[in-house]
Amino acid sequence: MTPPTHYAVEYAINPWMDTSTPVDVRVAHAQWENLRQTYLALGHRVDLVEPVPGLPDMVYAANGGFVAHDIALVARFRFPERAGESRAYADWMSSMGYQPISTRHINEGQGDLLMVGEMVLAGYGFRTDVRAHPEISAALRMPVVSLELIDPRFYHLDTAVAVLDDRTIAYYPPAFTEAAQQQLHALFPDAIVVGSADAYVLGLNVVSDGLHVVLPSAATGFAAQLRELGFEPVGVDLSELLKGGGSVKCCTLEVFT
């Protein structure tokens, strides 16, 4: 995780961002700290990445790359406003003992790359270039399933899909093309289908350890669906971070060992 020390909405690169809406950095930091403490209370380890001045979106650590087993893939961002984050996250990966791998084409890390068991679901359409998917598959030595996003409100895959365990996902069908919806249904016929009310508060932007699902507290309908299936939803308020187009998962780069 990266503290929101320099967090601000200084530009608009997704539909959630409105430069005319003020951001309270004090509240954002308190909400972010509550998320960090939630992870610690659930028994997880949280490493911190040093925030860099001039990179207000760096708080959305998930976009910094993809780390699984002995492989660390660093992001290549679409927008120049975020380009500097690649170096910051590569430096962190190096400090952790990894040798960061870059892709030739644009990839926005765990924003568009979600591991489910021994495969990776990979989004494209707004940020990550589909041409990066074969590169990613080769680097990670894992199969990659390409899924096209069509609603700009769900500009990253992690806004439209939640990975709950190695076999279970939840998703919001209207975020995807018909072909992508069919792919998801074929792979996960028992997936949770989430409604618009929960999707529109980025309710699918979650982190799950297979039992506890940390999710935006406003996604009450999704929380009820999770309880019915035996998961334990843990709601957190990240309303200030939502102003930049992110929530729980966006603020969390998961490291799979």
In a domain, 18, yes or no: no
Q: Is the pLDDT of residue 232 over 90?
A: yes
Digit-coded pLDDT (tens) for 159-217 = 999 999 999 999 999 999 999 999 999 999 999 999 999 999 999 999 999 999 999 99
**Residues designated catalytic:** 156, 250
Digit-coded pLDDT (tens) for 43-66 = 999 999 999 999 999 999 999 999
| Closest C-alpha to 106, from 88, 84, 79 | 79
Supply the CATH number for residue 116's domain.
Answer: 3.75.10.10
The confidence score (pLDDT) of residue 85 equals 98
In a domain, 14, yes or no: no
- State the total domains in the chain: 1
CA triple 144-158-124, angle to 5 deg: 50
The confidence score (pLDDT) of residue 242 equals 98
In a domain, 1, yes or no: no
The confidence score (pLDDT) of residue 251 equals 98
| Closest C-alpha to 63, from 98, 28, 18, 13 | 13
Q: How confident is the model at residue 257 (pLDDT cuts 50, 70, 90)?
A: confident
In a domain, 65, yes or no: yes
Give the side-chain half-sphere CA count within 13 A for 252: 29
**Which element (helix H / strand E) includes 31?**
helix 25-41
The confidence score (pLDDT) of residue 178 equals 98
Q: Quick one: average pLDDT of 87-116?
A: 98
Give the structural domain span for 225: 25-256
In a domain, 57, yes or no: yes
In a domain, 45, yes or no: yes
In a domain, 17, yes or no: no
Q: Where are the beta strands (DSSP E) in the chain?
A: 65-68, 71-74, 113-116, 119-124, 144-148, 161-163, 169-171, 192-193, 207-208, 212-216, 232-236, 255-256
In a domain, 6, yes or no: no
